[in-house]
Amino acid sequence: MEHFRDKVAIVTGAGSGIGRELAHGLARAGAQLAITDKNQERINQVLKEVKDMGVKAHSYLVDHSDFSAVNNFAKDFLSDFKSVDILCLNAGIGVGGRIEEYEIKDWELAIGNNLWSTIYMIHFFVPAMIRQGSGKILITASAAGLVGIPGMAPYCTTKFALVGLAEVLRTELARHNINVSVLCPGIIKTNIIKDGRIHMRDQSKQSQKPTIIDFYDQYGTEPYKVARDGIRALTKNRGVQVSPLNTWPLWILKRVSPSFYQFLTRKIWERLFPS
């Protein structure tokens, strides 16, 4: 982990979950940190935690779905740190429900927070990385960016886009000594469902959000394990990092037999959420 020492890292969406653990992992490796979130209380707490590890760190309240907010953050960051070596583009939100239940604002919420948030950061920071001739980028997508999951159309749309974006960047930026990895977590014990917009309802029209939250809390992987895999992906320059290990079979099944994967997921969907 010595190659992270004294490097400057930005971690977006660092107020909780995977972002918080990425910040912790990079701080333990000796990196200087710029951490962002749109929740002031959370980001203040994480700032204290990483500073207690003895590293230089600043926190910034940023809504990464807002172009002007990211522009202002870029200016503030450059006055504090001058340059960036590591970009962990982790900001995002969960949106779920049946396709007929979404309003256009649900799509806008998902695309703004999950996709535009990453595009804005790339726009403002990657040209400087190209000029300095080095850097590492970790984009947090999802297993839902590798396989289509019913009930998650806006979320899957954005996460598939992030996987494609990372693949393109990995090819384009290699000549500039910039490594790009995409992190694809499965079911993780984070705030993504609690903070997200979930429209799922049972046959009696009761919200399924509490049930889904309980499922994630019971079966979700601890986010530090995913962050550890993300940092390993940066260290070893892995293009795609699926995490945790129990997420791999789903992706492999989809790659080996897309038709069987779709048959299986359709049956599960129809059983869990009948019309």
Query: Catalytic amino acids?
Result: 155
Q: Where are the beta strands (DSSP E) in the chain?
A: 8-11, 32-37, 57-61, 86-89, 95-96, 135-140, 178-185, 197-198, 240-243
Write 219-224 long-range contacts (CB < 8 A, 24+).
219/187, 220/187, 220/188, 220/189, 220/190, 221/185, 221/186, 221/187, 221/188, 221/189, 221/246, 222/188, 222/189, 223/17, 223/18, 223/20, 223/21, 223/188, 223/189, 223/190, 224/21, 224/24, 224/25
Residue (of 166, 186, 147, 185) closest to 237 by Cα position: 166
Rounded-to-10 torsion of CA 154, 159, 212, 194: -90
- The dihedral through the CA atoms of 99, 100, 101, 106 has a sign that is positive
CB atoms inside a 10 Å sphere around CB 275: 5
Q: Which residues pair with 241 in a beta bridge?
A: 183
Locate 32 and state its tokens.
């200087």
